[in-house]
Structure 1
Amino acid sequence: MTLHPGAWWLWALCLAAVATRTTNPLLLALVVAVAGYVAVSCREDTPWASAYGVFLKFGLVVLGIRVVLHILLGGVGGPTVLFTLPGIPLPEWANGIRLGGPVSAEGLVFALCQGLQLATLLCCVGAANALANAKRLLRSLPAALYEVSVAVVVALTVAPQLVASARAVRRARVLRGDAVRGVKAVRVLLVPVLEDAFERSLVLAAAMDSRGYGRTAGLPKRARVVTGVLVLGGLVGLCVGAYGLLDGSAPAVTGTPLLAVGAVCAVAGLWSGSRRVRRSRYRPDRWGPRELLIVASGLVAALATFLAPAALGGAALTPATVPLSAPALPLLPALGLLCAVAPVLAAGRSGRPTREET
């Protein structure tokens, strides 16, 4: 029995939350290691199972781009100048931006930490794509969010489907005796992969049209307007209420009262919008103890990072780069991330057969 895809996404989002909280390279490397180990150990025999490797490579590219941009455009400076590039004068309206100039070790380390943070976020998303079936996740969402969720699922499946198409095309060319590699291989694979992507998009459009995507289920225009107003008003109330809770100087009415009103309006809008979609579920995915263990392990990692006191590693989450010093591994966040390896025990052995959803 396969695990609920929502559990994998919640687990990956918790790891991504840890990555957004810190720029410590040791902790970010630990997040990448945990996400990669779980993705490799728990992935199933699916076409998108190798998505993590692609996202990891893409993250390395992002890291390199961030460093190159810092070298060319500058940023955080420091006393330790490594080399100096020829400077290009800019007009007065571009004050604060430079092209070329001195490149310091402190600024380079800061750019590396920021690039590693972005790469870690991509690795967390790649782990979720490798472990979860986005199409199965679609049918678990509320009916009121059906159309929005379809768009999100289509966007999430683009990268895994492109990876599967590239692997299939490359395997076919190898069987024909074509073993081209490197940049030339990208040019050779580009056309057939894009052709396969267009074919998939046409098939998807036809399937969505045949299933009545965008139908209104006979609801009058007034009911649709009321649903939209409730959902939009509820979201605005939730945002303003959350801001009122976080800002101590805000009026009391913008805190908990507005947050509660927004939640009520959002729930009413979702309930009203659920009447637009009539659908049945075949063999619905259910939450069990293993799914709860996966989500709990991710929450432990996130809470250990966000609530870590200074004595247990909270002060080491954002190490200073001026002056340069070796970063220390935060104790409590690191222990929380080690708990995030628990899905390996919950998912059982890797490579087990899966039930394909079409």
Structure 2
Amino acid sequence: MSGRLPRDLHPVAWWTWAVGLAAGASLSTNPVWMVMLVGAATVVVLARRSDQPWARSFRLYCLLALVIVVLRVVFRIVFGGGVGDTVLVELPEIPLPGFVMGIQLFGDITLESLLAGLYDGLRLAAIVICIGAANSLANPKRLLKSLPPALYEIGTAMVIAVTMVPQLADSVRRVRRAQALRGGASGRVSRLRRVLVPVLEDAFDRSLRLAAGMDTRGYGRSGDATPRQRRLTGALMLAGLCGICLGSYLGLDQSTALPVSWGRPLLLGGLAVAIGGIVAAGRRVHRSRYRPDPWRWPELSVIACGLAVAVAAQRITQVSPTIAYPPLTAVPTLDVLALVAVAVAVLPAVLAPPPTMGLVVKS
């Protein structure tokens, strides 16, 4: 019964769910799949976001996603309009020097080219919206408190970067309300100029105040460590990240010169080395936590939903590649597994407890 009381879900659970949806979006170019994942993320945000400033930033991420789709289609028209046979508009091609071979300006605009740009733009837009959903649902300050001790050195910078967009959205709302009360110029350009400078100034001031408050409370302090310990932990972290990046690249790109079979060992080895570096660095950082966030069945169920979407997307790419990557000349379709994955992606709207909405509720 306590799981249904108003409380804030663990921020790591929201980020894991969102990363699972983003991973599922990155493994496909099916526009129907992208739109349904975006719809699932939007439903969860509308159902479980709080009234805090960071919860109002989801609209900005949606606008950014729309801009990404439009720019991707425009770039396809300007730099690659001649792909495919179904010509929609005939435009003259601007000749370019020989050292830019492979790039053209304008030319015939084909249906296949527009669809390719739209599919690519939708995939990137879906990833942006999924990350924006996590940023709108998870409390960034509580996320910092949940980080391992070894990551406190970069925690301050991360929280300032993550809270910049929510603070910007809240500043826009407050400045626009103040400008409406004062009256003045009604033109769009004049209003933009009057709002832009106060908004940026207010967002930066609030982020700096947050950084100063976190510094006085000990965030970002690395503690005592010898130069040898610092070099050891830095080498472990760097080697682990290199292994993770190389293993992920071999797993995603099958046309590399290195053997594809090296991908999984490099990825697992990089994860093991990185975890060792985190543990080694965490031993020299001593932090106490006041009322740590609990892990209960809603957190575990939300994480399971995100991981299930990623696993289902990976399975679809292996079993039904034409569904994951539909041809430009055919109508995109979905199978039962994809529909079930979308339904699972929406479940956190029901499984997660309602947010506190400004109430102070003991966990």
TM-score interval, smaller chain: 0.7 to 0.9
Structure 1 residue 262, shift from structure 2 partner: 4.8
* 1:144-163 alignment runs, 5 A limit: 144-163=150-169
Residue equivalent to 1:307 = 315
Aligned pairs for 1:1-358 within 5 A: 1-74=7-80, 77-177=83-183, 180=186, 182-212=188-218, 215-237=221-243, 250=259, 256=265, 262-308=270-316, 313-321=320-328, 324-349=329-354, 352-354=357-359
> Within 1, Cα distance between the matches of 2:213 and 2:47?
34
Distance (Å, rounded) in 2 between the aligned partners of 1:306 and 1:251: 17
Aligned counterpart, 2:4 = none
TM-score norm. by structure 1 comes to 0.88
Q: After superposition, what is the alpha-carbon deviation per residue over 1:255-275, rounded to whole angstroms, capped at 9, x for unaligned?
A: 64x766655543332222113
Distance in 2 (alpha carbons) for counterparts of 1:279 and 1:309: 43
1:22-61 Cα shifts (integer Å, max 9, x gaps): 1111111101110001101111111121221111111111
| CA displacement at 1:150 relative to structure 2 | 2.8
**Secondary structure at 1:326 match in 2:** coil
| 1:296-349 deviation per Cα after TM superposition (whole angstroms, max 9, x unaligned) | 1112222122113777x543111111xx22211233112111111111112244
Separation in 2 of the partners of 1:89 and 1:130? 46
Kept in 2: contact 1:2–1:354 (CA 8 A): no
Measured against aligned partners, the alpha-carbon deviations of 1:158-204 in whole angstroms (never above 9, x if no partner) come to 11111111111112222334584745433221110111123124324
**Which stretches in structure 2 are left out of the alignment for 5+ residues?**
1-6
SS in 2 for 1:85: coil
Q: TM-score, normalised by structure 2?
A: 0.86
- Checking the alignment, whether the CA contact within 8 Å between 2:90 and 2:108 is kept in structure 1 is yes
Shift of the 126–238 alpha-carbon distance from structure 1 to 2, 3 Å rule, reads closer
* Contact 2:156 2:214 (C-alpha < 8 Å) held by counterparts: no
Name the amino acid aligned to 1:325: A
Structure 1 residues not aligned, in runs of 5+: none
Secondary structure, counterpart of 1:82 in structure 2: strand
The 1:134–1:354 alpha-carbon spacing in structure 2 relative to 1, beyond 3 Å, is farther
Assess, with a 3 A threshold, how the Cα gap between structure 1 residues 330 and 264 changes in structure 2: closer, same or farther. Answer: closer
RMSD: 2.9
Q: 1:353 & 1:201 partners in 2: Cα distance?
A: 21
Equivalent-residue separation in structure 2 for 1:251 and 1:319 (angstroms): 25
Opposite residue 327 of structure 2, the aligned amino acid is A
Cα distance change of structure 1 residues 213 and 137 upon mapping to structure 2, 3 Å threshold = closer
Q: Contact between 2:316 and 2:324, CA under 8 Å: does it hold in 1?
A: no
Q: Partners in 2 of 1:84 and 1:315 — Cα distance?
A: 30
8 Å contact kept, 1:135–1:153: yes
Structure 1: how far apart are the matches of 2:306 and 2:105? 42
Alignment length (residue pairs):
352
AA matched with 1:320: P
Secondary structure in 2 matching 1:227 = helix
Q: In structure 2, how many angstroms separate the alpha carbons of the residues matched to 1:105 and 1:241?
A: 36
SS in structure 1 of the partner of residue 29 of structure 2: coil
Native 8 Å contact 2:82 2:109 kept in 1: no
- Compare 175-184 and 115-124 and name the one that shifted more: 175-184
Shift of residue 244, structure 1, vs aligned partner:
8.2
Q: Conserved in 2, the CA contact under 8 Å of 1:27 and 1:330?
A: no
Name the CA distance, whole Å, in 2 between partners of 1:244 and 1:68. Answer: 31
Deviates more, 1:264-273 or 1:133-142: 264-273
8 Å CA contact retained: 1:169, 1:192: yes
Structure 2 letter corresponding to 1:163: A
Q: 1:148: how far off?
A: 2.3
Q: 1:237-292: per-residue Cα shift (whole Å, max 9, x none)?
A: 55566778998985999964x76665554333222211343221111112110011
Displacement after TM superposition at 1:135 (Å): 1.2
Take 1:90 and 1:14, find their aligned partners in 2: how far apart are those partners?
A: 42
